[in-house]
Structure 1
Amino acid sequence: MMASEMDKTRALLQSCSTESIISSLGLGIFCMVADKLLQFSIIHQSEWLRSLSDNAIHGVIGMWSWAIVIGIKKKADVGEIILAGFLASVIDIDHFFLAKSLSLKAALSLPRRPFLHCSTVIPIAALTLKFIMHIFKLKDSWHFLPWMLFVSWTSHHIRDGIRHGLWICPFGKTSPLPFWLYVIMTSTLPHMCSFVMYLTGTRQMMPSKPGIRIDV
Structure 2
Amino acid sequence: MATETEKTFALLQTFSTLSIISSLGLGLFCFIADRLFQFPFIQQNDWLRALSDNAVHGIIGMWSWAIVIGLKKKNDFGEIILAGFLASVIDVDHFLLAGSLSLKDALNLPHRPFFHCSTLIPVVVLTLKFIMHLFRLKDSWCFLPWMLFISWTSHHVRDGIRHGLWICPFGKTSPLPYWLYVTITASLPHLCSFIMYLTGTREMMSIKHGIHIDV
- Please give the range of the TM-score, normalised by the shorter of the 2 chains: over 0.9
Q: CA deviation at 1:3?
A: 4.1
Higher RCO by CA contacts (8 Å cutoff, separation 6 or greater): 1
1:148 paired to 2:147: yes
Aligned pair count reads: 213
- 4+ runs deviating over 6 angstroms: 212-216
RMSD of the alignment, in Å?
2.0
Q: d(CA) in 2 for partners of 1:7 and 1:116?
A: 39
Change (3 A) 1:125 1:153: same
Aligned to 1:41: 40
How does the TM-score come out when normalised to structure 2? Answer: 0.93
Change (3 A) 1:214 1:33: farther
CA offsets per residue over residues 134-178 of structure 1, 9 Å max, x none? 233323231110010000000000000000001111111110011
Q: CA deviation at 1:208?
A: 5.6
> Which of 151-160 and 3-12 deviates more?
3-12
8 Å CA contact 1:144–1:215 kept in 2: the answer is no
8 Å CA contact 1:158–1:182 kept in 2: the answer is yes
Aligned to 1:125: 124
Q: d(CA) in 1 for partners of 2:81 and 2:73?
A: 14
8 Å CA contact 1:126–1:146 kept in 2: the answer is yes
Secondary structure, counterpart of 1:95 in structure 2: helix
CA offsets per residue over residues 9-61 of structure 1, 9 Å max, x none? 11211111110000000000000000111100010000000000000000000
Aligned to 2:68: 69
Q: CA deviation at 1:73?
A: 1.0
8 Å CA contact 1:73–1:208 kept in 2: the answer is no
Q: CA deviation at 1:213?
A: 9.5
Identity rate of aligned residues, in percent? 75
Secondary structure, counterpart of 1:83 in structure 2: helix
Could you tell me which amino acid in structure 2 is paired with residue 96 of structure 1? F
Q: d(CA) in 1 for partners of 2:69 and 2:103?
A: 35
8 Å CA contact 1:3–1:202 kept in 2: the answer is no
1:205 paired to 2:206: yes
Q: d(CA) in 1 for partners of 2:111 and 2:156?
A: 15
CA offsets per residue over residues 58-106 of structure 1, 9 Å max, x none? 0000000000001101111000000000000000000111111111000
- After the TM superposition, which residues 1-216 of structure 1 pair with which residues of structure 2 at under 5 Å, given as runs? 3-203=2-202, 204-205=205-206, 207=208
Secondary structure, counterpart of 1:141 in structure 2: helix
Q: d(CA) in 1 for partners of 2:2 and 2:97?
A: 44
Q: CA deviation at 1:200?
A: 2.7
Richer in helix (by share): 2
Secondary structure, counterpart of 2:105 in structure 1: helix
8 Å CA contact 1:70–1:213 kept in 2: the answer is no
Q: d(CA) in 1 for partners of 2:123 and 2:34?
A: 29
Q: CA deviation at 1:128?
A: 1.3
